[in-house]
Chains A and B, each alone.
Chain A
Amino acid sequence: MFSSPYLRRLTFWAYLLLDSQEAEEVVEDYSEIIQNHSDSDPQQQFGSPCSVICKLLTAKQLIQRILFGLVLLFLAISPLMLFSRTVSFTAAILLLAVQWGFLQYTLQRSKDLAQTQPKKAVALHFLMQIVLALLLMLLCGWIFFTFPMLQVGPSTKGVLAVACAVFTVSGFAYTILSLVRCLAWARVSLVCFDAAVCCTLFVSMMAQLSEGGFWDILVSLSFVYLMGLIAARTLRC
């Protein structure tokens, strides 16, 4: 009599926190165990569904999920940071790269989940995807309108103007095309978007390096790392 709502909540948490293959197996196992316990309250017997699933996470998976939550929180407050004008051009570019990564992750995850169910977990990831896409658009727009104020030479500004225009348009196209599952064209816009972001990162890195400070070199190194990540992801797709 208790099992059905409990199993539903367990299924939700399993698909939210575990890989879909593992989630499917765990839900099957718990259905079998709960069937044998039909007379008792599973909440008392096993604990809350969230804690049941958390017990199955390895230390590495747990750290990944916590980090994911923290970055998501950071992304959620990023529009506030943009409006308060405390974000530098460099930080915005870094933020753009991080958002790109998360959008990729949620797209992959929702594609994966769509094959297995349940609807609630798919819907949550889809919602997350839309929010991330909107944030990405906001950032693209912010960067596009901010770069004319940078203290860089005219040729650098020219390159940045082209790169920002390309990633704003292709980023928008990529998001829309991915959401409507027009995957072939989404891939084309992704390549344009990645190339433009890499170009922006490269130009920003050169500008940082010309400053020559410790912090500038550190930021440049992170740009190199991000460019590597983006290039690797683009080549894989």
Chain B
Amino acid sequence: MLKKDIITLCILHLLMEKERYGYEMIALLKSSFPDTQESVLYALLRSLYKDGNASTYLQESAEGPVRKYYRLSEQGVQYYHALYDQWKQLQQSLQNLGIS
């Protein structure tokens, strides 16, 4: 559950930086979470889209194929801040216990 929330936070963070296409995000996440299957990463991305935290649009890429880009919605931005606050609190709790 914790890992799922952390990966969700990472996806939201990537989308806060800029609009990205699916494979780009999965590849970036895979490099940070190598033991997590890509289908799990995709399922999390999809659930963000289904819950209305992100929307999609199609755009042609320089290499040729049309790509589906994801962008954060207003609700997604709020969700990012909520998850980020939770993460900070967790970090603080761990630091208080001497775990850095």
Interface positions of A (Cβ within 8 A of B): 26, 28-30, 32-33, 35-36, 45-47, 51-52, 55-56
Contact = CB atoms under 8 A, between A and B. Distances in A.
B37 A33 contact: no
B22 A35 contact: no
Contact of A35 (B26, B43, B65): B65
Chain A interface mostly helix, strand, loop or mixed? Answer: helix
B39 interface: yes
A46 B22 CA distance: 15
13 contacts: A32-B67, A33-B26, A33-B38, A33-B42, A35-B65, A36-B23, A46-B38, A46-B39, A47-B37, A47-B39, A55-B39, A55-B43, A56-B43
Interface residues of B, number: 15
B82 interface: no
A46 B30 CA distance: 12
Chain B interface mostly helix, strand, loop or mixed? Answer: helix
A32 B22 contact: yes
A33 B43 contact: no
Nearest to A57: B43
Interface in B1-49: 21-23, 26-27, 37-40, 42-43, 46
A33 B65 contact: no
Contacts of A55: 39-40, 43
A55 B4 CA distance: 13
Contact of B68 (A29, A35, A52): A29
Contact of B37 (A28, A30, A32, A46): A46
